[in-house]
Amino acid sequence: MDIFGAPPITFEQIRQIDREAPQLILWAVPLMIFFTVLEYLVARWQHRHDIYDDTELRGSVLIGLGNLASNYLTKIVLFSLTVFIYNLIPWRQHFVWWLFFPCYILHDFCSYWAHRISHEQRIWWATHVPHHSANHYNLAVSFRLSWIQQFKILFFVPVILTGFHPMIFFVVNQVAVLFQYWVHTEYIGKLHPWIEYLFATPSNHRVHHGSQDKYLDKNYGATFIIWDRMFGTYVPEQERPVYGLTTPVHSANPFYLVFHELVDLIRDVRSARSWRQRLWFVFGSPVAIARYKKQQAAQAAQKPD
Which tens digit of pLDDT belongs to each residue from 108-144?
A: 999 999 999 999 999 999 999 999 999 999 999 999 9
Q: Do residues 208 and 220 lie in contact, with contact meaning Cβ atoms separated by under 8 Å?
A: yes
Contact 223, 104 (CB under 8 A): yes
3-state secondary structure the chain: CCCECCCCCCHHHHHHHHHHCCCHHHHHHHHHHHHHHHHHHHHHHCCCCCCCCHHHHHHHHHHHHHHHHHHHHHHHHHHHHHHHHHHHCCCCECCCHHHHHHHHHHHHHHHHHHHHHHHHCHHHHCCCHHHHCCCCCCHHHHHCCCCCHHHHHHHHHHHHHCCCCHHHHHHHHHHHHHHCCCCCCCCCCCCCHHHHHHECCHHHHHHHCECCCCCCCCCCCCCECHHHHHHCCCCCCCCCCCECCCCCCCCCCHHHHHHHHHHHHHHHHHHCCCHHHHHHHHHCCHHHHHHHHHHHHHHHHHCCC
Question: What integer pLDDT is reported at residue 18 of this predicted model?
Answer: 72
pLDDT at position 305, please? 59
Secondary structure (3-state) at 7: coil
Let me know: does 162 contact 110? Beta carbons within 8 Å: no
Phi, psi of 199 (to 5 degrees): -115, 155
Stretches in the chain below the pLDDT threshold 70: 1, 304-305
Would you call 296 exposed, middle or buried from its count of C-beta atoms within 10 A (0-12, 13-18, 19+)?
Answer: exposed
Q: How far apart are CA 126 and CA 260, in angstroms?
A: 8
**Distance between CA 199 and CA 229 in Å, rounded?**
11
The whole-angstrom separation of Cα 159 and Cα 82 is: 10
Confidence (pTM): 0.93
Query: Could you tell me the CA-to-CA distances from 151 to 53, 154, 265 in Å, in that order?
Result: 30, 6, 17
pLDDT at 1: 55
User: So what's the pLDDT on residue 22?
Assistant: 81
Cα–Cα distance measured from residue 83 to residue 163, given in angstroms and rounded to the nearest whole number: 10
Given a contact cutoff of 8 angstroms between Cβ atoms, the answer to whether 114 and 24 are in contact is no
**Residue 274 — left, alpha, or beta (φ > 0 → left; ψ -120 to 50 → alpha)?**
beta
| CB-based contact 221:108 (threshold 8 Å) | yes
Q: Containing H/E element for 71?
A: helix 54-88
